[in-house]
Amino acid sequence: MSTTDILEASKKKEDKLRRLDWDKEVIPCVKEIIETRKQNGISQLTLRGLFYILVSINILENLYERYKGLSRKLVEVREREEIDPDRIVDESRSIIDINDVFYSPEQIINNELEFLSCLSEQYRSQYLPKWY
């Protein structure tokens, strides 16, 4: 493949994927879709569902690159708190055996100090031979 062929292939891909201003073209539509669905009693939607809604109203092309772009942009928008993170859900992955108990730093330190205070007794009772 020659350099000219590579440049032409790159140009075709650029032509196929027009440059988007995500913040001006896509995100306002996303916010409107979320709000409309909320008003209709649908509080959450998936990234995939949102993507296909945007494709169906001709905001995005049905391309993997657009899907990934939407995913990245939604992360940014949720981090900026422009969209409630609980409105977009990921139902494709399940969480198995996760310990989701929160301990404050003070609780962790106190637990570790308690463990250390009992360590010498535990060592004597569990690891030293009785004749020692």
Helices (H) and strands (E) in the chain, counts: 5, 2
pTM over 0.85: no
Give tens-digit pLDDT for 31-45: 999 999 989 988 889
pLDDT tens track for 40-87: 988 889 999 999 999 999 999 999 999 999 999 999 999 998 988 888
CA 105 vs CA 108, 110, 111, 115, 116: distances in Å: 5, 9, 10, 15, 16
Query: In the beta sheet, which residues pair with residue 88?
Result: 45
Instruction: Quote the CA–CA distance of 130 and 38 in Å, as a whole number.
Output: 68
